């Protein structure tokens, strides 16, 4: 008799299967990601139903009817911005983030807003609400969720709670209650009885996601799934998890800071460049509609090594303060630290300044920080980082009314960046009087956007040498 159970090794990163353990995964080339799991060969997944081959007929693309997706606003503008305008019916959305960052709080506030909207829609002939929300928790009891809900406040009975981890039971509840929105918190706690491995394993996560995707697509239910993250910040489980869902959102932020950033890394129904900014408070998360003003609060006065730059996140311009500290090093290998900026990019810009401006930086410790904990990787911040380093090295105080942006090349040239009009408009709105920008961007604004540049002084620069002269004036 063949064995009913066998041991198979899975890659936690990509889901590759192997009969024996290997140090490196042959598929994704990652090291030490193979884990052993017991698989029951006799078990057959309920989601793996046979397909009637007679019905599987292809259609010419001209006969496929396309229709614009209907979006439902959640009442959280920052959340809708990241999704592309609202949630799409029948979509599967994955939300990841560090423990305690506020994933459950964000989704509970989302459920609160939707519960109010659904309650206003009224009841049907049976006296039940026509639209409902099902919040399924595998980590907390219904009483724990109620305690957080009381802190947030404003819920209606259209929100129903279920503390369950068995997917078969959850599926039967969904078929009976027929909710419009489902929240699964979290996918690592769910398990299917037919799969013999433990909850959170590669097989269980893959099977659970497949069942939820089938429910979302066949019944037109919007499903939100919370996913745990690894120490590297990636969603735990097989990489296939992110491929199966429609949207992948990451909730980022430092626990020591009050702000949180919702970032989309995959979105089949919208852009992946948008971000939403929130502030953590005692009664939940509050939207930050003007993140530029929030990030610049508490800016030091008459201090060298500080300059304001403008970064573009999707379609939104955000003003950020870049701080730099350059001091003489007493070690053979000077220290280089970049907090919020790309470490290799900072080293590259320091090499450009030493070569093109003859600044002696090889014997100096350099620390670059984006105030507020924001992470910025856009090339348009190059000029801000360079001017902050120059200001700290030469002890030059850059006027508080000055803002800058631009990309720096290896020859020391300052290149143009996209969306210059939006950057200047945002700077002008917050009261900045002078803007140091690439010369090509200045010429374009003077030609195409004369109304925008009224009331703000533009200084066009072609190189970092001209930019250094501009802050010396």
Q: Find out whether 379 is annotated in a ligand binding site.
A: no
Is pLDDT of 252 > 60? yes
Domain end call among 256, 289, 322: 289
- Is residue 349 domain-shared with residue 413, that is, in the same domain? yes
254 vs 76: which has the higher pLDDT: 76
121 vs 42: which has the higher pLDDT: 121
> Residue 98's pLDDT is what?
86
Angle CA 458–461–467, to nearest 5: 100
Residues 6+ away with beta carbon under 8 Å from 2: 41
CA distance 414 to 421: 17
CA distance 104 to 171: 21
Q: Find out whether 101 is annotated in a ligand binding site.
A: yes
- Is residue 103 domain-shared with residue 184, that is, in the same domain? yes
Note the residue count of the chain. 473
- 436-452 confidence digits (pLDDT tens): 999 999 999 999 888 88
- Is residue 285 domain-shared with residue 202, that is, in the same domain? yes
Number of domains in the chain: 3
For residue 64, being part of any structural domain is answered with no
- Is residue 274 domain-shared with residue 303, that is, in the same domain? no
Is pLDDT of 11 > 50? yes
Residue 340's CATH number: 3.30.230.10
DSSP code of residue 236: S
Q: What is the pTM of this model?
A: 0.77
Q: Find out whether 179 is annotated in a ligand binding site.
A: no
Q: How many CA atoms lie within 13 A of 44 on its CB side?
A: 4
CB 251 within 8 A of CB 102: yes
Find, among 236, 235, 181, the residue nearest to 212 by Cα.
181
- Is residue 185 domain-shared with residue 299, that is, in the same domain? no
CB 87 within 8 A of CB 127: no
Name the token pair of 52: 């009637």
> Residue 258's pLDDT is what?
75
- Is residue 384 domain-shared with residue 437, that is, in the same domain? yes
Q: Find out whether 99 is annotated in a ligand binding site.
A: yes
Give the domain range for residue 401: 294-472
User: In whole numbers, what is the pLDDT of the chain averaged over residues?
Assistant: 87
Name the token pair of 192: 């299917």
- Is residue 450 domain-shared with residue 463, that is, in the same domain? yes
> Residue 86's pLDDT is what?
92
> Residue 205's pLDDT is what?
87
CA distance 64 to 369: 52
Q: Is 360 left (phi over 0), alpha (psi -120 to 50) or beta?
A: beta
> Residue 436's pLDDT is what?
96
Number of other residues whose CB lies within 10 A of the CB of residue 143: 9
Residue 49: pLDDT band (50, 70, 90) is very low
103 vs 1: which has the higher pLDDT: 103
> Residue 51's pLDDT is what?
43
Is pLDDT of 55 > 80? no
Point out the least confidently predicted range of 44-58, 264-278, 294-308, 383-397: 44-58
% of the chain at pLDDT higher than 70: 92
229-246: average pLDDT: 75
Q: Find out whether 102 is annotated in a ligand binding site.
A: yes
- 411-433 confidence digits (pLDDT tens): 999 999 999 999 999 999 999 99
141-150: average pLDDT: 92
- Is residue 300 domain-shared with residue 284, that is, in the same domain? no
For residue 46, being part of any structural domain is answered with no
For residue 66, being part of any structural domain is answered with no
Burial 383-411 (b: 16+ CB within 10 A, else e): bbbbbbbbbbbeeeebebebbbbbbbeee
Q: Find out whether 98 is annotated in a ligand binding site.
A: yes
For residue 50, being part of any structural domain is answered with no
- 170-201 confidence digits (pLDDT tens): 999 999 999 999 999 989 899 988 887 778 88
């Amino acid at each position: 008799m063949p064995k009913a159970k066998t041991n198979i090794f899975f890659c936690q990163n990509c889901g590759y299967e192997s009969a024996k353990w290997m140090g490196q995964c042959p598929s994704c080339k990652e090291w030490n990601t193979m884990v052993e799991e017991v698989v029951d060969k006799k078990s057959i997944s309920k989601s793996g139903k046979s397909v009637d081959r007679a019905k599987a007929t292809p259609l010419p693309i001209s006969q496929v009817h396309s229709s614009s997706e209907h979006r439902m606003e959640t009442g959280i503008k920052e959340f809708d911005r990241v999704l592309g305008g609202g949630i799409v019916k029948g979509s599967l959305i994955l939300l990841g983030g560090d423990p305690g960052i506020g994933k459950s709080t964000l989704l509970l506030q989302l459920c609160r807003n939707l519960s109010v909207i659904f309650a206003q829609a009224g009841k049907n002939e049976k006296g039940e609400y026509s639209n409902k929300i099902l919040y399924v928790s595998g980590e907390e009891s219904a009483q724990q969720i109620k305690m957080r809900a009381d802190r947030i406040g404003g819920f209606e009975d259209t929100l129903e709670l279920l503390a369950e981890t068995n997917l078969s039971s959850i599926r039967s509840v969904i078929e009976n209650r027929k909710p419009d929105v489902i929240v699964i918190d979290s996918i690592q706690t769910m398990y299917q009885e037919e799969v013999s491995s433990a909850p959170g394993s590669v097989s269980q996560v893959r099977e659970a996601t497949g069942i939820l995707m089938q429910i979302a697509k066949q019944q037109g239910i919007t499903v939100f799934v919370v996913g745990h993250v690894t120490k590297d910040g990636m969603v735990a489980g097989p990489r296939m998890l992110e491929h199966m869902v429609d949207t992948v959102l990451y909730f980022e932020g430092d626990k020591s800071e009050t702000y949180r950033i919702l970032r989309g890394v995959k979105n089949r129904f919208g852009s992946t460049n948008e971000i939403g900014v929130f502030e953590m408070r005692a009664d939940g998360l509050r939207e930050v509609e003007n993140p530029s003003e929030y990030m610049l609060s508490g800016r030091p006065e008459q201090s060298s090594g500080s300059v304001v730059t403008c970064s573009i996140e999707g379609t939104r311009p955000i003003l950020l303060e870049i701080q730099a500290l350059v001091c003489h090093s007493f070690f053979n290998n000077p220290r280089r630290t970049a907090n919020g900026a790309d470490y290799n990019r900072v080293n590259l810009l320091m090499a450009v300044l030493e070569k093109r401006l003859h600044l002696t930086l090889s014997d100096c410790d350099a620390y670059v920080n984006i105030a507020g904990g924001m992470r910025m990787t856009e090339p348009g911040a190059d000029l801000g980082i360079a001017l902050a380093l120059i200001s700290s090295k030469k002890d030059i105080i850059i006027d508080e009314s000055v803002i800058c942006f631009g990309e720096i090349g290896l020859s020391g040239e300052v290149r143009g960046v996209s969306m210059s009009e939006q950057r200047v408009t945002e700077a002008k709105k917050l009261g900045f009087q002078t803007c140091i920008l690439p010369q090509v961007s200045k010429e374009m604004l003077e030609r195409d956007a004369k109304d925008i540049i009224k009331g703000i002084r533009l200084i066009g620069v072609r190189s970092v040498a001209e930019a250094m002269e501009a802050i010396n004036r």
